[in-house]
Structure 1
Amino acid sequence: MFKICYFVPASHLEETKQAMFDAGAGKIGDYDSCAWQCEGQGQFRPLVGSNPFLGEKGKLETVKEFKVELVCDDELIVDALTALKRAHPYEEPAYEVYKLEYFS
């Protein structure tokens, strides 16, 4: 099992979550569409060669974003990350993947 965390502007929050759910992520036992999210502020500066969804090259940009966390079975991780990248508006989405351990 993996945990995926990603950052997305508010405009694409539901679209990215749904893409991940459709790929099978966010399932815990007998529940699906499970996620945790919180609102925050992201910042970035598009560099030469970039094609930014938001902001202008060379200028620091801040934007309301959400951090979303959800789990994903091992066999679905590649599909889930592919779905995230397709649904996400940024050229290079920021995301993290953690391998989870089980304890009884």
Structure 2
Amino acid sequence: MKIVPLRCYVEQQDGYWQAGCIDLDIFADGSTCEDAKAALHDALESFFQTLNTLPVKDQRRLLRRKSPLSVRIEYALKHFYYYVLRQGGGRGRQDFISDGTCLA
């Protein structure tokens, strides 16, 4: 079995937390960062359990499903922002967290 890392994130939006896996286009939300992460974990677990019951052709199709390009670009920009600022004296992580992103 091949293990592939998934790109996921959690961020605060308008008073709630949203967690997403951009590689599988699966999203969940919660009232706290931990709630959103747990909800995403549950959604991913359910996705993979269901996936195992499908024919191989359908499994491949669903595993190739990606989030919309706009979501992937936004993720890439935030990821870039975090790492560029983090390299600049460590301020970046705090700045990124204060922007509403939970990095745990």
Question: Per the shorter chain, which TM-score range?
Answer: under 0.3
TM-score normalised to the size of structure 1? 0.25
TM-score normalised to the size of structure 2? 0.25
